[in-house]
């Protein structure tokens, strides 16, 4: 897909990988709608986009709230006329505990953001894309670490949702492309919680070790690779999962 003058929604664009993605899409000429709950962080992303001479719009949205998701999509459509790409990047990994001691509310929050929030975004954007018979949806995958069952179940559910919706789109002979991507370990607010809390160090000790040994990827690196994925995306990619080890020279 040609990114110049395209319209792209990035969820979780207020920091981490999402901010880097928003900036990279904007640098490549896309108009980027930046979504997340914390307005100040979205405003900062849009400021960075503007200083790179790009076009960005901050629309604070909790993706688990249907009315807010509808408002985000309606505003994007009335402002820009169409949506070419939805990057379902927003995610939550707050529950770090063994199943026997987990806080069920926090566990459910992780499932809700990663699965239900992503579903609401997809559902709201997909009918528009089906009507146009074009568009790309990318769902962010993630690991399934011990001590992170809420996160793991949410991401596993999202991957299953991706697989089945691809079949539905094939049945409808739709040209909409849907695939997933996984970034590998990146130092962000999410993974700082694993490295800097007692529960995180107990259950996911590999994160702190990787930080200390420098075995982490940078959000900017992920963003560059992902932008390339979107530029090259083809219908036969639907249903595939592009992990951190993807060899781009094959495309």
Ligand X SMILES: NC(=O)c1ccc[n+]([C@@H]2O[C@H](COP(=O)([O-])OP(=O)(O)OC[C@H]3O[C@@H](n4cnc5c(N)ncnc54)[C@H](OP(=O)(O)O)[C@@H]3O)[C@@H](O)[C@H]2O)c1
Q: Which residues bind to ligand X, rule: CB under 6 A?
A: 11-12, 14-18, 36-38, 41, 61-64, 89-92, 113, 117, 140, 142-143, 182-183, 185-186, 188-191
**Minimum distance, C-beta of residue 196 to ligand X, in the bound complex (Å):** 13
Rounded distance between C-alpha atoms, residue 180 and residue 177, angstroms: 10
CB-nearer residue toward ligand X: 17 or 174: 17
Rounded distance between C-alpha atoms, residue 33 and residue 83, angstroms: 10
CB-nearer residue toward ligand X: 63 or 165: 63
**Minimum distance, C-beta of residue 159 to ligand X, in the bound complex (Å):** 12
**Minimum distance, C-beta of residue 87 to ligand X, in the bound complex (Å):** 10
**Residue 246 Cα distances to 146, 243, 249, angstroms:** 25, 6, 9
First to last CA, the chain: 14
Rounded distance between C-alpha atoms, residue 229 and residue 87, angstroms: 12
CB-nearer residue toward ligand X: 174 or 188: 188
CB-nearer residue toward ligand X: 147 or 174: 147
**Minimum distance, C-beta of residue 126 to ligand X, in the bound complex (Å):** 18
User: What phi and psi, each to the nearest 5 degrees, are found at residue 213?
Assistant: -90, 0
CB-nearer residue toward ligand X: 175 or 206: 206
DSSP 3-state of 190: helix
Query: Measured on CA atoms in the order 149, 109, 59, 164, is the torsion positive or negative?
Result: positive
- Local structure of residue 31 (DSSP, 8 states): E
DSSP 3-state of 58: strand
CB-nearer residue toward ligand X: 67 or 236: 67
Both tokens assigned to 182: 């996984």
CB-nearer residue toward ligand X: 21 or 174: 21
Q: How many CB atoms lie within 10 A of CB 229?
A: 18
- Residues contacting residue 194 through CB under 8 Å, at least 6 positions apart: 93, 96, 200, 201, 203, 204, 207, 208
**Minimum distance, C-beta of residue 5 to ligand X, in the bound complex (Å):** 25
Residue (of 33, 29, 45, 28) closest to 9 by Cα position = 33
**Minimum distance, C-beta of residue 204 to ligand X, in the bound complex (Å):** 11
């Amino acid at each position: 897909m040609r990114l110049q003058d395209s319209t792209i929604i990035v969820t979780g664009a207020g920091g981490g990988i999402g901010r880097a993605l928003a900036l990279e899409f904007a640098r490549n000429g896309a108009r980027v709608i930046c979504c997340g709950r914390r307005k100040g962080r979205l405003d900062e992303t849009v400021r960075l986009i503007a200083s790179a001479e790009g076009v960005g719009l901050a629309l604070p949205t909790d993706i688990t709230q249907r009315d807010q998701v509808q408002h985000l999509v309606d505003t994007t459509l009335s402002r820009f006329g169409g949506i070419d790409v939805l990057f379902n990047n927003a995610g939550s990994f707050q529950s770090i505990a063994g199943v026997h001691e987990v806080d069920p509310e926090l566990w459910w929050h992780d499932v809700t953001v990663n699965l239900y929030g992503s579903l609401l975004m997809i559902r709201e954007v997909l009918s528009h894309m089906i009507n146009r018979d074009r568009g790309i949806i990318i769902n962010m995958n993630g690991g399934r670490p011990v001590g992170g069952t809420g996160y793991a179940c949410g991401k596993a559910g999202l991957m299953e949702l991706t697989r089945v919706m691809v079949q539905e789109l094939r049945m409808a002979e739709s040209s909409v492309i849907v695939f997933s991507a996984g970034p590998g370990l990146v130092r962000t607010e999410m993974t700082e919680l694993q490295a800097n809390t007692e529960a995180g160090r107990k259950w996911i000790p590999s994160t702190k070790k990787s930080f200390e040994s420098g075995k982490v990827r940078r959000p900017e690196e992920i963003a560059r690779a992902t932008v390339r994925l979107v530029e090259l995306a083809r219908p036969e990619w639907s249903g595939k999962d592009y992990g951190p080890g993807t060899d781009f020279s094959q495309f």
